[in-house]
Amino acid sequence: MSAIRKNTWFMACLYVLVFFLLAEWLTPVMTLTSTGHKTLFLVFIVLGLLMALFKVPWIISGPVKLLYILWFIVHVYTDSFFFSKDAMVFVWADLQVNMEALFSQNWAQTTDIFRTVLFFALLWMAVYLIHYWVSFRLSIFLFYFLTVLFIAVLDTFSPYTGNTAIIRIMVIGLLLAGLLHLARWTERHHIELSGDKIAASVIPLFLAIAGTTAVALYLPKSGPVWPDPVPYITSFSNQAGSGTGGNSVGRIGYGVDDSQLGGSFIGDSSPVFTAEVDDGQYWKVESKDIYTSKGWELTENVGEVAVYENGEFIKTDFIPGESEEEDNALISMDQDFPFVLYPYGTESILMDAAPNYQYDAADQRIETFQQGNVFEPQVYEISYSEPTFSLTALRATAPEKLAELPAAFDRFLQLPDELPQRVRDLALEITSTSTTVYDKTRAVERYFSNGSFEYSQQDIPVPEDGQDYVDQFLFETQRGYCDNFSTSMVVLLRSLDIPARWVKGFNEGELLETEGTRDIYQITNNNAHSWVEAYMPGVGWMLFEPTIGFTGSSEVEFDVEVDASDPVEREQPERPNPIEEEDDSTAGAGEEANGPDFWDRASDIWDENKAKILWALGGLLVLAGILYKIRQKWLPKVLIPYYRNRGESASTFEKAYLRLLKQLELYGIKRREGQTLKSYASYIDSFFGTSDMTRLTRAYEQAVYGGNPESVDWNELKESWENLINRTSG
Site residues, other proteins (CB under 8 A): 654, 658, 661, 672-679, 701-702, 704-708
Instruction: Specify the DSSP class assigned to residue 403.
Output: G
Considering only CA atoms, which of 382, 379, 254, 385 is closest in space to residue 308?
Answer: 382
In angstroms, the CA 200 to CA 198 distance is 5
| CB nearer to other proteins: pick between 36 and 707 | 707
| CB nearer to other proteins: pick between 515 and 673 | 673
Residue 704: CB minimum distance to other proteins, A:
5
Residue 676: CB minimum distance to other proteins, A:
4
Residue 687: CB minimum distance to other proteins, A:
19
Residue 701: CB minimum distance to other proteins, A:
5
Residue type, 66: L
| CB nearer to other proteins: pick between 220 and 674 | 674
Residue type, 309: E
| CB nearer to other proteins: pick between 450 and 679 | 679
Instruction: Specify the DSSP class assigned to residue 136.
Output: I
H-helix segments, 133-258: 141-157, 163-188, 195-218, 229-236
| CB nearer to other proteins: pick between 96 and 679 | 679
- Pairing relation of β-strands 388-390 and 555-557? parallel
Residue 658: CB minimum distance to other proteins, A:
7
In angstroms, the CA 41 to CA 45 distance is 7
Local structure of 636: helix, strand or coil: helix
Residue 688: CB minimum distance to other proteins, A:
20
Using CA atoms, how far residue 179 sits from 199, 208, 392, 431, in Å, is 10, 13, 55, 44
Instruction: List, in order, residues 6 or more apart from 593 with CB less than 8 Å away.
Output: none
| CB nearer to other proteins: pick between 130 and 656 | 656
In angstroms, the CA 350 to CA 357 distance is 10
Residue 708: CB minimum distance to other proteins, A:
8
| CB nearer to other proteins: pick between 372 and 674 | 674
| CB nearer to other proteins: pick between 272 and 712 | 712
| CB nearer to other proteins: pick between 413 and 703 | 703
| CB nearer to other proteins: pick between 314 and 681 | 681
Residue 670: CB minimum distance to other proteins, A:
13
Using CA atoms, how far residue 393 sits from 300, 388, 434, in Å, is 32, 11, 16
Length of the chain, in residues = 730
Using CA atoms, how far residue 650 sits from 269, 611, 662, 710, 713, in Å, is 76, 52, 19, 6, 8
Residue 707: CB minimum distance to other proteins, A:
6
| CB nearer to other proteins: pick between 270 and 711 | 711
Residue 705: CB minimum distance to other proteins, A:
5
Residue 685: CB minimum distance to other proteins, A:
15
| CB nearer to other proteins: pick between 204 and 706 | 706
Ranges assigned E (strand) in 219-364: 249-251, 264-266, 271-277, 283-288, 290-291, 296-297, 305-308, 327-333, 346-350, 356-360
Residue 657: CB minimum distance to other proteins, A:
9
Element (H, E) at 480: strand 479-480
| CB nearer to other proteins: pick between 357 and 721 | 721
Distance of CA 649 to the CA centre of its chain: 56
Angle made by CA atoms 553, 555, 558, in degrees to the nearest 5: 130
In angstroms, the CA 400 to CA 408 distance is 17
Task: Specify whether the CB–CB gap between 725 and 640 falls below 8 A.
Answer: yes
Q: 461-496 burial string, b = 16+ CB within 10 Å, else e? A: bbbeeebbbbbbbbeebebbbbbbbbbbbbbbbbbb
Instruction: List, in order, residues 6 or more apart from 284 with CB less than 8 Å away.
Output: 341, 342, 343, 344, 364, 503, 504, 505
Residue 647: CB minimum distance to other proteins, A:
19
